[in-house]
A and B are shown apart, each in its own frame.
Chain A
Amino acid sequence: MSQANVVVTPEPNVLVETSHDLPLVAVSVALRMGALEDPPDAEGSVRLLGRLMRRSAGGRSAEANDALIEGMGAALGADVTQSTVSFHGSVITRSLDRFGEFLIDALARPALPEDELARLKRETFAELMETLDDDRSLARRWFRKTIFAGHPYGRSAGGTKAGIEHATLDGLRALYRRLVVPENLVIALAGDVTPERAARFATDLASALQRGERLVDRTPEPTVRPGRHLVVVDKPERTQTQIIIGGLGSHAADPDHFALSVANTAFGGTFTARLMHEVRVKRGWSYGAYSSLPFDRRRQAFSMWTFPKASDAAACITLELEMLEKLRRDGLTKSELSWAKRYLIRSHAFAIDTAAKRVGLKLDSTLYDLPAGYFENYTENLRAVTLEQANQALRERLSDENLLVTLVGTEAVVGKDVREAIPRLASSDVVRYDAE
């Protein structure tokens, strides 16, 4: 049975929840800063650093480290977002001590060798090439790049070919010295581990690191260009299109954040929400149709995602724009609001049904500087949302005029119809799918 979350030490922060249900421990060692620290001309540097740390842990070769991790019955990834770096994985309990030692080797004793960096850069070039096969990720990439143009959120945490080429070992070592210090760490363990064992690991890790300064996120709030804009990502032989339409969205500290979350759920957050009903159920145009409202330390984008066949793309965009206009103008109905609240409150059970998930929410709270009690009071905050608040949030936070439409498709097939389908279109660009 589980014990309550315990914050063992303030620095580094350690979050732990014990559950002996399975002989498994989930471990995360996260840094409070991520790709926002990439040098301006070396996009992707922080990700390179995270991967290089894992590969050269303890001064061993990447081959030896891969064999070591897999041999102990563990999995370990190094993920980088704009705001965080996370070394996270899971391990069979019998190997927990060895896994902890490995993590300390990766965080505190990485060799960061030149030859492995060169190999990693070549691998990354190949991976970037592979992403060109994935139309959905292409759509997401161009949407973010364009909606946040000129802002750090428009850059790619995974990097670009030019950015990776510019990354140097000296640059990565400087990043390491700034980022990987006890003051930036948040550690989370869940599962078959005691608080005492977790605290010992955290202390060992912190004492193996050089002290430094806690980094402060000075990213400005993003803004968007006024007007309706279109980017067609031109790719040959597409029978289908990937469409993302959106603008600025929510911030977790907004007083109407929960109201907007409820409204988004009713509009496009589930299988029976408005968007899915109109696009998929009534018209059969797209296998999926969702809207989303993610959070970060600064305001993120609200977006709608559909993927109709090429001949339905223009009509689908028209429909989505009309639905967004109607949503802002008329708001939700009372029954939609109460239904969405019930869904969010009750389904929260699945966000907290394992120790690892519960600790994961606390980790997110800490890493993203969420308002105090964000998850602890989550269901109460949802319950308190009124129809007036939800509809007010829709009108104030979402725009149907300052929008970006991003479409991956074959320009010669869909371009003309799509441009005609967007009233008051302020600008239209066509970019090659491999232009980055």
Chain B
Amino acid sequence: MASNRAARLAQLNAKALEWGTVTHVETVPFGGRLKIERFRLKNGLELLTCEDRSAPVVAYHTWFRVGSRHEREGKTGLAHLFEHLMFNEVEGRASGEFDRLLEEAGAESNASTWLDWTQYNIAIPKEKLGLVIGLEAERMSRLVLREPQVTSEKEVVANERRFRVDDDVEGAVSELLWATAFDRHAYRWPTIGWMKDIEGFTTDDCAEFYRTYYAPNNATVIVTGDYNEASLLERIAAAYGKIPPSTLPVENYQAEPPQTSERRREVKKPTPTEKLAIGYHAPALGDFDHLSLSLLVDVLFGGRASRMHQNLVRKQELAADVRASVGPFRDPGLFEVFASARDGHRAEELLVAIDQELSRARQEPISEEEIERARARTELGLIAGLETAEGKASTIGFYETVLGRPAAAFERLDAIRRLGPSDLLRAARRYFSDDSRSIIFVRAELAGAAQKAAE
């Protein structure tokens, strides 16, 4: 197989375009049954493939290593706005033709932006793979940015912000929490951007961003599903081999200074019950402690059998909902807790109850039974996420982009199997520190409104 591939690549490279020479870099096992092949083009484009013929479909992802962390004050939200603009117009095609062609081919396409990355995903019947390769290569190098599309898309994003943040209590509170917890690092502003920044973007801002970050040497293409490798490589080399690499800027990284005292904010929102959000500084995804903390947080907050659900929702009946997550980011992020109080209860009561459980986790080792349950939940989540070609591409793309290891999901699962009570106790004592947390208390402007109306 390897010698066949080498011969095919030699043949392909003999007629390659300037930047289209393809090198096979490595083969990486992906779970027990599948494997990932890593290829690299001369222009720096990484290509990860994972063949799986269980359905006649292909998922095609493009992950760019640019997210809201690469923006600056006054221009927040540009990476996300750009994600929208990438669907508008490319040279030689009418505005909207990109989506039209894909939908006509039966494709499902979408995109997302977060702190560290922007990704574009297309799932398509296998016989239409060639169309996707051509379209994705086109918009990587020949996007058209002009009015009135930019202005119209800014208005769409402003409406998305109203939907996700301004009229959404949890969205607004999460934004405030990150802005409170971070002083210097670029994680302090929201991925969707501040409204005044969204309104202020110019076409020149967008063009500069495109030239800077949308280049093959800043991207990874992931192809999973039912495809022929030889044909795929030939098409990729032909489509992307014309695109030169760019000179990527050095990121203006600002380390977040340690937080040394608790920060509290209070806001009023048009909601019938009080809410509470807490953010503890947490390790980066690549840090070994991230695994321990994630497993611990699952024991405490994950699922109905978790300590917090049992205590706050069932026993004390203080909360309608309580949940938490550890941010999966390249740099240290937050372990975020969100809880919603039941009618008549205060956010302070939630804080006391949550603190009691966190304190217990700092003092007593977690039982092996609870750890095993959290391991099983993690395993189920990973397996269930791999059912479709799309799920496999997402998993591969995410871990490749954040950690540089496309099969890291399985590495993490193996590592989690080795974690024990000592690891979780260490994580609790290291990260559940009052001095390194920020708290948002949400006061309910509409508390008791229903009763008043009834009276």
Q: Bound pair: A and B?
A: yes
Interface, chain A (partner B; CB < 8 A):
1-2, 19, 21-24, 62-63, 66-67, 69-75, 90-92, 119, 122-123, 125-127, 129-130, 132-133, 135, 235-240, 270-272, 277, 280-287, 307-309, 339, 342-343, 345-350, 352-354, 356, 432, 434-435
Tell which of B52, B159, B384 has the most Cβ of chain A within 10 Å: B159
B residues near A129, Cβ cutoff 8 Å: 272-273, 320, 342-343
Q: Which of A72, A339, A356, A434 has the most CB of B within 10 A?
A: A434
**Interface, chain B (partner A; CB < 8 A):** 33, 52, 54-57, 96, 99-100, 103-108, 123, 125, 128, 151-160, 162-163, 166-170, 270-273, 303-305, 310, 313-314, 317, 319-321, 340, 342-343, 369, 372-373, 376-377, 379-380, 383-384, 386-389, 445-446, 449-450, 453
Contact B376 A71 (CB under 8 A): yes
The answer on a CB contact under 8 Å between B387 and A22 is yes
Q: Which residue of A lies closest to B127 (CB)?
A: A346
Q: What B residues does A90 contact at CB under 8 A?
A: 380, 384
Chain B residues with Cβ under 8 A from A350's Cβ? 57, 106, 108, 123
Which A residues are CB-close (under 8 A) to B57? 349-350, 353
Some 9 contacts from A to B, beta carbons below 8 A apart, are A22-B387, A67-B305, A71-B373, A75-B384, A122-B317, A126-B342, A282-B152, A309-B158, A354-B54
Structural contact, A133 and B169, CB atoms closer than 8 A: yes
Min CB distance B215 to A, Å, is 26
Q: Which residues of A contact B450 (CB under 8 A)?
A: 434
Query: Is there an interface contact between A135 and B167, defined as CB atoms closer than 8 Å?
Result: yes
How far apart are the CA atoms of A102 and B162 in the complex, in Å? 44
**For B170, what are the chain A residues with a Cβ–Cβ distance below 8 Å?**
133
Q: Is the beta-carbon distance between A347 and B156 smaller than 8 angstroms?
A: no
Q: For B343, what are the chain A residues with a Cβ–Cβ distance below 8 Å?
A: 125-126, 129
Kindly identify which residue among A62, A69, A72, A133 contacts B271, using a CB–CB cutoff of 8 Å. A133
Q: Is the CB of B383 within 8 A of A24?
A: yes
Residue pair B388, A434 in contact (C-beta under 8 Å): no
Closest chain A residue, CB of each to CB of B87: A271
A346 touches B372 (CB 8 A): no
Q: Closest 5 CB pairs between A and B? A: A346-B106, A284-B155, A73-B376, A126-B320, A353-B55
Assess the A240–B162 pair: CB atoms within 8 A.
Answer: yes
**Cβ contact of B167, chosen from A63, A122, A239, A352, cutoff 8 A:** A239
User: Is A67 within 8 A of B96, CB to CB?
Assistant: no
Q: Which of B152, B167, B450 has the most CB of A within 10 A?
A: B167
> Which chain B positions have C-beta within 8 A of A240?
159, 162-163, 166-167
B106–A349 touching, CB < 8 Å: yes
Residues on B with C-beta less than 8 A from A24 are 380, 383-384, 387
Using A66-B304, A309-B159 as known contacts, say yes or no to A22 and B383 having CB atoms under 8 A apart.
Answer: yes
Residues of the B chain whose Cβ atoms lie less than 8 Å from the Cβ of A73 = 376-377, 379-380
A278 to B342: give the CA distance in the assembly, Å.
42
User: Knowing A24-B384, A129-B320, A349-B106 touch, does A63 contact B453 (C-beta < 8 A)?
Assistant: no
Given known contacts A272-B100, A346-B125, is B453 in contact with A434 (CB within 8 Å)? yes
* Known pairs A119-B314, A237-B270, A280-B156; A354 contacts B376 (CB<8 A): no
Write the chain B residue with the least CB distance to A93.
Answer: B383
Contact A287 B389 (CB under 8 A): no
The residues of B that contact A271 with a CB separation of less than 8 Å are: 99, 103
Q: Which residue of A lies closest to B379 (CB)?
A: A73
Please determine whether B160 and A287 come into contact, CB atoms closer than 8 angstroms. Answer: yes
- Taking CB atoms, residues of chain B closer than 8 Å to A237 are 270, 445
Closest to A126 in B: B320
Measured between beta carbons, the chain A residues less than 8 angstroms from B103 are 270-272, 339, 343, 347
Q: Is the CB of A71 within 8 A of B369?
A: yes
Select the residue from A74, A129, A342 with max chain B CB neighbours within 10 A. Answer: A129
Q: Specify which of B163, B303, B304 is in contact with A307 (CB 8 Å cutoff).
A: B163
Cα-based distance from A304 to B334 in the complex (angstroms): 39
A79 CB to nearest chain B CB (Å):
15
Contacts of A352 in B (CB 8 A): 55
**Minimum CB–CB distance for A148 against chain B, Å:** 24
Q: Are B317 and A285 in contact (CB under 8 A)?
A: no
Assembly CA distance A327 to B107 (angstroms): 25
CA distance A27 to B377 in the complex (A): 17
Residues of chain A with a CB closer than 8 A to B340's CB: 130
Q: Is the CB of A343 within 8 A of B54?
A: no
Whole-angstrom CA separation of A13 from B389 in the bound complex: 30
Contact with A67, one of B107, B163, B373 (Cβ below 8 angstroms):
B373
